[in-house]
């Protein structure tokens, strides 16, 4: 049972003028897996360290189960943390690494033994208990780091980019392993990462941070579908969302966008909500998967077409990425299309745009227009 409440959390370093973390608010529900996502230097690790009690809080509060813990030292918060570098003690065996955290917590010897062995079996470390960290592979070290948090059976797990030191293949399997563990144990967790795939696949909710501030919080697909500003739009999704300059207008009571050399009717958009922007410049956002070589398969979707030229073809196997230059605006777009395309460099074709999937952003504030 643990609910973490972060309220107006700020961190200011004496040496820097801008605060490293500014007015961060969020609540992590009991048994929830919250991901803090953002580029490096956005303050997400600082938030984590303030929750852990490793970093003093400039202002604001961190509460666990309603109790403000700002003044509670790290060891008394009943939190376990998995570090990016794993922080395994090089001079101790795997067993001692796992047991180290229990020896200060009034846990009996037999109980320590039991818990360490249980965790080791669960994580597939049972054969390695007598080894030292330098004799382990990267994946094994990562599991020891995880095990060290699990044996503690804490109220809260904190993860600080725990997968970023693994190679790509191992990262995927370990990620799935972690998700499985999390579902079994169900401890409230906060997970810091800069990897959007990890965030999308692991988080119950994602909290996206940029330059010390929270930009958006929500469930993964919700955030993906409705990015709150251009930062989130570009940060989530690979390749990132295409952003183009355009103009908004109203025609016969329907919102239309002038861009890519054509006038595109925006369906599903009540013109009323867009009134303020009529006649003004906007940023048009289109995800690569909403662009098509021909009409999209599976039913009638409102389509707009624009003449374009292929600049680069990147066949990835399961799909192909196209970089295309629009004839009229010379904007470049990235499109994700089927793997069987016959298009080659320099080919011309009319690119199809799913107009229901168009995002609009205010160029002044970069916020989404809804």
Partner 1 sequence: MSISGRLSRFARRNSARPEIDARRAGIGILVVFLAPALLIYAGFTIYPVLRTFYNAFHAIKPHGVVEFVGLGNFTALLLADSIFWKAVSNTAIFTIVATIVDVFGGLLLALCLFARAPLAPLLRVVWFTPVLMSYVVVGIVWVWIYDYDWGLANAVLHWLGLGAYEQSWLGHPSTALSSVLVAHVWKWLGFNMIVFLAALHALPAEVLGAAELDNCGWLAKLVYIIIPMLRATIVNLLVLSFIGKMMVFDLIWIMTGGGPLWSTETVSTYVYKRAFEWNTFDLGYPSAIAVLWFIIILAFIAIMTRLLRQRDRLEF
Partner 2 sequence: MATQMRLGFAQLRRLPLVLFVVLYSVVSGGPFLWVATMSLRTTAEIFKNPYGVPSPVHWEKFADAWTKSNYSTYFWNSATVVVVAVALVTVIGSMAAHCLARYRFRGNRFVRFLILSGLVLPPQLLILALFQILLDLDLYNTLTGLVIVYVATHIAMTVYILEGFFAQIPQDLFDAARMDGYSDFEIFWRVTMPIGAPAIFTTVTLNFIILWNEFLFAVVLLTDDAKRTLPLGIMHFTGSHQLDVGMVATGLMIAILPIILIYAFFSEAMIKGMTAGAVR
Among 39, 41, 56, 124, binds partner 1 (CB under 8 A): 56
Please, which residues have CB within 8 angstroms of residue 198's CB and are 6 or more apart in sequence? 35, 163, 175, 191
Cα(252)–Cα(33) distance, rounded to whole angstroms?
A: 47
Beta strands in 111-221 (DSSP E): 156-160, 188-193, 205-210, 213-218
The backbone torsions φ and ψ at residue 89, rounded to the nearest 5 degrees and listed phi first, read: -80, 115
Cα(320)–Cα(326) distance, rounded to whole angstroms?
A: 18
Q: Give the other-Cβ count within 10 Å of 40's Cβ.
A: 8
Please, which residues have CB within 8 angstroms of residue 227's CB and are 6 or more apart in sequence? 216, 233, 236, 241, 285, 359, 368
Contacted entry of partner 2, partner 1, none for residue 329, CB cut-off 5 to 8 Å set by kind: none
- Establish whether the linkage from the previous residue to 239 is cis, with ω within 30° of 0: yes
Coil vs helix vs strand at 189: strand
Contacted entry of partner 1, partner 2, none for residue 253, CB cut-off 5 to 8 Å set by kind: none
Which one, 132 or 258, has the nearer CB to partner 2? 132
Residue 81 engages partner 2 in binding (rule: CB under 8 A): yes
Residue 53 engages partner 1 in binding (rule: CB under 8 A): yes
Residue 265 engages partner 2 in binding (rule: CB under 8 A): no
Pick left, alpha or beta for residue 86 (phi over 0 → left; psi -120 to 50 → alpha; otherwise beta): left
Judged by CB under 8 A, the chain residues 149 through 168 that form the site for partner 2 are 152
Residue 55 engages partner 1 in binding (rule: CB under 8 A): yes
Beta strands in 85-165 (DSSP E): 156-160
Site string for partner 2, 111-150 (x = CB under 8 A): -------------------------------------x--
The sign of the dihedral angle between the CA atoms of 117, 123, 125, 127 is: positive
Residue 74 engages partner 1 in binding (rule: CB under 8 A): yes
Residue 268 engages partner 2 in binding (rule: CB under 8 A): no
Residue 72 engages partner 2 in binding (rule: CB under 8 A): no
Among 27, 54, 172, 254, binds partner 1 (CB under 8 A): 54
Residue 10 engages partner 1 in binding (rule: CB under 8 A): no
Cα dihedral 123→127→132→138 (10° resolution): -50
Residue 253 engages partner 1 in binding (rule: CB under 8 A): no
- 203 secondary structure, DSSP code: -
Residue 57 engages partner 1 in binding (rule: CB under 8 A): yes
Site string for partner 1, 97-126 (x = CB under 8 A): ------------------------------
Kindly indicate which of the ranges 45-53, 176-184, 192-200, 238-246 contains the residues binding partner 2, using the contact rule CB under 8 A.
45-53
Kindly indicate which of the ranges 5-13, 72-80, 98-106, 236-244 contains the residues binding partner 1, using the contact rule CB under 8 A.
72-80
Which one, 152 or 175, has the nearer CB to partner 2? 152
User: Per the structure block, which two tokens stand in for 76?
Assistant: 């008394």
Judged by CB under 8 A, the chain residues 210 through 249 that form the site for partner 2 are none
Q: Give the other-Cβ count within 10 Å of 297's Cβ.
A: 8
User: Per the structure block, which two tokens stand in for 3?
Assistant: 């609910």
Number of chain positions touching partner 2 (CB under 8 A): 26
Please give the residue ranges that form the binding site for partner 2 (CB under 8 A): 49, 52-54, 74-77, 79-81, 83-87, 89-92, 100-101, 104-105, 148, 152
Please give the residue ranges that form the binding site for partner 1 (CB under 8 A): 53-57, 70-71, 73-75
């Amino acid at each position: 049972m643990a609910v973490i409440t972060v309220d107006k959390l700020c961190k200011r370093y004496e040496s820097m003028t801008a605060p490293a973390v500014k007015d961060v608010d969020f609540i992590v529900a009991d048994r929830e897996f919250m991901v803090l996502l953002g580029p490096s230097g956005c303050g997400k690790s600082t938030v984590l360290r303030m929750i852990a009690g490793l970093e003093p809080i400039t202002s604001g509060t961190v509460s666990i189960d309603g109790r403000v813990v700002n003044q509670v030292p790290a060891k008394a918060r009943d939190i376990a943390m998995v570090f990016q570098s794993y922080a395994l003690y090089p001079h101790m065996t795997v067993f001692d690494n796992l047991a180290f955290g229990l020896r200060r917590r009034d846990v009996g010897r037999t109980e320590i033994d039991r818990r360490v062995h249980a965790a080791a079996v669960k994580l597939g470390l049972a054969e390695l208990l007598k080894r030292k960290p330098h004799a382990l592979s990267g994946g094994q070290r990562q599991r020891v780091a995880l095990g060290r948090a699990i044996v503690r059976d804490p109220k809260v797990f904190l993860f600080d980019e725990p997968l970023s030191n693994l190679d790509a293949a191992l990262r995927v399997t370990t990620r799935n392993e972690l998700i499985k563990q999390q579902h079994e144990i169900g401890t409230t967790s906060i997970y810091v990462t800069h990897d959007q795939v990890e965030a999308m696949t692991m988080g119950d909710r994602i909290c996206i941070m940029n330059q010390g501030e929270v930009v958006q919080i929500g469930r993964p697909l919700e955030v993906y579908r409705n990015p709150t500003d251009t930062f989130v739009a570009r940060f989530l999704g690979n390749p990132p969302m295409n952003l183009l300059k355009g103009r908004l207008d109203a025609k016969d009571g329907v919102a239309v966008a002038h861009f890519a050399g054509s006038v595109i009717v925006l369906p599903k958009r009540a013109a009323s909500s867009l009134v303020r922007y009529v006649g003004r410049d906007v940023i048009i956002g289109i995800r690569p998967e909403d662009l098509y070589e021909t009409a999209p398969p599976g039913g009638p979707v409102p389509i707009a077409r624009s003449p374009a030229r292929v600049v680069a073809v990147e066949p990835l196997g399961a799909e192909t990425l196209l970089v295309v230059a629009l004839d009229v605006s010379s904007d470049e777009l990235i499109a994700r299309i089927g793997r069987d395309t016959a298009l080659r460099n320099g080919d011309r074709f009319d690119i199809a745009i799913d107009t229901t999937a168009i995002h609009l952003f205010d160029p002044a504030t970069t916020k989404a227009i809804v």
